Chain A
Amino acid sequence: MIRRLVRHLPEWVQAQPISVMCVLLGIPSGVLTLVGPSTSRALDTVLPFWARPLWAASLLLGCLAWGAGLASVREVDGRLVVRRLPAMILGLQLISITALVYGVAIITVGGWAGALAAWPLGVVAFGTAVEQAVLSNRRGAYGR
């Protein structure tokens, strides 16, 4: 059943479903925090009032840029090629920063009790930082 459904998905979604899932997770959080109905106690406590919209805007922009980069992925000669590499790198950098800030804010407010909630954010921050560094290095290797 799921195998039949998957065939109808775009090629770029089939090639990188986990990354697309991360993008979809971040967009509602960014929009709701930016618009106002959703707030985070950790961010409210730790960041100044003007930094929370900045965090939300960075998260939203990061997700959109990462999504644009993912949507530009095509298979060329058996390899996945990112056509909008600058957008992908921008998105990964912004997601890494926002995840790091959120994770540290949770630990600052909740102490060790918040470590479990902060752990996935730390993993996302590290993973996206590594991926953007790999893509940047590869870009450098092409001589661009």
Chain B
Amino acid sequence: MAVDVGTVLTTILGGGTVAAVIGYFGNRRKDKSEASKNTSDVQVATFDTLTQMNERLKNQLAEVETQLDTERSARRALEDELASERRARRALEERVAALERLIPEGGTP
């Protein structure tokens, strides 16, 4: 009984080990040929399925659009502030001009 089991176990051990090592070298060869096809070594992202990739791109697009909206509203606020500053400057210039008109040349008002 023990001899039979030993033979079976030895066969499993030897066969399994050889198969695993052969599989390893096969996988490595595939990896290398795959890597040589890729000209860029920069990994941008990883995906399991196209659906997952699509979802991720949609999320990224939504994030970029939100950021763009925020930037636009900030720009609008800055433009409003600039316009109010210009109005204040114009008002000041008009006031200075009015004061200058009141003062006669070379004398006191």
Interface residues of A (CB under 8 A from B): 45-48, 51, 54-55, 58, 65, 76-77, 79, 81, 85-87, 89-90, 93-94, 97-98, 100-101, 104-105, 108-109, 138-139, 141, 144
Contacts and interface: CB of A to CB of B under 8 A. Distances in A.
A94 B20 contact: yes
Contacts of A97: 12-13, 16-17, 20
B30 A144 contact: yes
Contacts of B20: 90, 93-94, 97
A87 B24 contact: yes
A15 to B, nearest CB: 15
A135 to B, nearest CB: 10
Contacts of A54: 13-14, 17
B27 A93 contact: no
Contact of B12 (A77, A79, A100, A141): A100
How many B residues are at the interface, by size bracket? 20 to 34
A109 B31 CA distance: 43
A86 B24 contact: yes
Interface in B31-52: 31, 34, 43, 45-46, 48
Contacts of B1: 108
Contacts of B77: none
Nearest to A46: B6
B17 A94 contact: yes
A76 B30 contact: no
Nearest to A96: B16
Contacts of A58: 13, 17
A144 B19 CA distance: 19
Nearest to A142: B48
A136 to B, nearest CB: 9
Nearest to B29: A86
B30 A46 contact: no
Contacts of B27: 85-86, 89, 139, 144
Contacts of A77: 45-46
